[in-house]
């Protein structure tokens, strides 16, 4: 007897009242897309839980994939059997035997949802516990802090046995909160900001500023790799690559050195906002963290943000650098981010950027040159890649592998 299904418990979605079905359906679709390689599985969903029927597909790789789906609070491998005491005993025993149980402790926690079932919970605990104890070696009972908690749930449609809870990614299903543009530089922070915004149910499209030959193909590839990492959590993500060389050069030549950084940021935000309108998104996500660098002081943010009233979401605003690095490592973007290629934020950096820029001065300097046509051109020449978790990129090499 093998685990035949995975039981999925919802997280925060359960507080959504009448809208819950929208969330559940989206979660189901996200899971189905994530598991499309496993052709035989079936997904059954109801208001309070979901089951993935394995139909012979291996559970280990499915579990690994489920860990990256937002909206899942926890999940467990489960077996289903008839509401019959002997069947329950055998099923529970089989569930334990599939775990590394030697030298461990266990207990049985039964719940009788179906009150028609003739055996009471404590009776079930005793009967099933005794059966497992008799049929195994090296397993002992501990009702306070067991290593293995054998849970038995007798419901109308059958009895479910689960042994091990695995924590899910939490959050809300991607796509239930609308769409936002993520400004993605290639550094450590912005991918983490993308991850956190997806965790809140946002669908994201990434925007990257590319300045050849000052920034190299490797830098662009790095961003593609970062987006591909993020697709682990968000399925398919669009990446907009904005040709930014000209804008950067003009600003560098025409704006006083200490204000060039601020102006560059304003130009980036204007372009991103134009792309946002085109893509019908409602917000912009950045990896800014208050006080981290010159452009992220409150004064700078104020002057940069002045170009738009689109909501700018800054998921990292309250985090320490070390916390951000830790999270980047967890989600697998850190090692890509630290690759040492020049990016749009490292070229043309002024020696001493203003940390307390004045809005009037920026406006004054910018009024001396007409950036608008250049910005418009950058938006129009933007190249868009669709990066998919399954197909990924690298078709050029596909047959070599």
Which residues here bind other proteins, judged by CB under 8 A? 60, 64, 100, 216-218, 221, 225, 332, 335, 394, 397, 399-401
Q: Return the H-helix or E-strand segment holding 358.
A: none
CB of 312 to other proteins, least distance (A): 33
350 contacts 260 by C-beta, under 8 angstroms: yes
CB of 400 to other proteins, least distance (A): 5
Handedness of CA 363, 366, 368, 372 (dihedral sign): negative
Whether residue 265 is annotated as binding a ligand: the answer is yes
Of 221 and 292, which has the nearer Cβ to other proteins?
Answer: 221
Residue with tokens 């005793």: 126
Of 87 and 99, which has the nearer Cβ to other proteins?
Answer: 99
Q: How far apart are CA 219 and CA 89, in angstroms?
A: 58
Whether residue 183 is annotated as binding a ligand: the answer is yes
Whether residue 287 is annotated as binding a ligand: the answer is yes
Q: How far apart are CA 265 and CA 48, in angstroms?
A: 45
Whether residue 23 is annotated as binding a ligand: the answer is no
Whether residue 253 is annotated as binding a ligand: the answer is no
- CA 116 to chain CA centroid, Å, is 42
Question: What is the DSSP secondary structure assignment for residue 183, as one 8-state letter?
Answer: E
Q: How far apart are CA 356 and CA 42, in angstroms?
A: 57
Of 139 and 304, which has the nearer Cβ to other proteins?
Answer: 139
Whether residue 296 is annotated as binding a ligand: the answer is yes
72 contacts 115 by C-beta, under 8 angstroms: no
274 contacts 382 by C-beta, under 8 angstroms: no
CB of 91 to other proteins, least distance (A): 24
Of 246 and 342, which has the nearer Cβ to other proteins?
Answer: 342
CB of 242 to other proteins, least distance (A): 21
CB of 218 to other proteins, least distance (A): 5
The binding site for ATP consists of 183-184, 208-209, 265, 287, 296
């Amino acid at each position: 007897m093998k685990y035949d299904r995975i039981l999925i418990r919802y997280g925060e979605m359960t507080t959504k009242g009448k809208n819950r079905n929208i969330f559940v359906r989206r979660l189901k679709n996200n899971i189905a897309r994530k598991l499309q390689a496993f052709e035989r599985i079936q997904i059954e969903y109801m208001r309070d839980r979901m089951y993935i029927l394995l139909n012979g597909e291996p559970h280990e790789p499915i579990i690994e994939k489920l860990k990256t789906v937002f909206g899942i609070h926890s999940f467990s491998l489960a077996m289903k059997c008839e509401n019959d005491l002997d069947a329950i005993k055998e099923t529970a025993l089989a569930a334990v035997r599939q775990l590394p149980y030697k030298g461990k402790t266990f207990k049985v926690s039964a719940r009788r949802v179906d009150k028609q079932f003739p055996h009471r919970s404590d009776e079930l605990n005793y009967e099933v516990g005794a059966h497992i104890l008799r049929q195994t070696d090296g397993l002992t009972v501990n009702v306070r802090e067991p290593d293995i908690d054998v849970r038995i749930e007798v419901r109308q449609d059958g009895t479910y046995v689960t042994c091990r809870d695995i924590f899910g990614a939490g959050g809300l299903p991607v796509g239930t909160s609308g769409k936002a543009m993520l400004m993605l530089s290639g550094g450590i922070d912005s991918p983490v900001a993308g991850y956190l915004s997806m965790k809140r149910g946002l669908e994201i499209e990434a925007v990257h500023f590319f300045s050849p030959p000052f920034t190299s193909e490797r830098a662009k590839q790095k961003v593609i790799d970062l987006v591909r990492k993020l697709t682990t959590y968000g399925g398919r993500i669009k990446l907009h690559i904005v040709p930014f060389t000209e804008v950067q050069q003009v600003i560098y030549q025409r704006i006083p050195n200490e204000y060039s950084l601020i102006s560059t940021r304003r130009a980036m935000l204007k372009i991103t906002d134009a792309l946002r309108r085109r893509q019908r998104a409602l917000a912009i996500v950045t990896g800014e963290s208050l006080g981290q660098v010159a452009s992220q002081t409150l004064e700078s943010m104020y002057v940069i943000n002045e170009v738009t009233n689109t909501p700018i979401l800054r998921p990292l605003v309250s985090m320490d650098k070390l916390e951000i690095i830790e999270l980047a490592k967890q989600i697998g973007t850190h090692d890509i981010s630290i690759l040492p290629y020049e990016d749009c934020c490292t070229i043309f950096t002024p020696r001493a950027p203003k940390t307390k820029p004045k809005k009037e001065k920026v406006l004054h300097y910018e009024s001396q040159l007409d950036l608008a046509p250049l910005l418009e051109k950058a938006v129009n020449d933007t190249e868009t890649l669709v990066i998919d978790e399954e197909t990924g990129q690298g078709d050029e090499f596909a047959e070599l592998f």
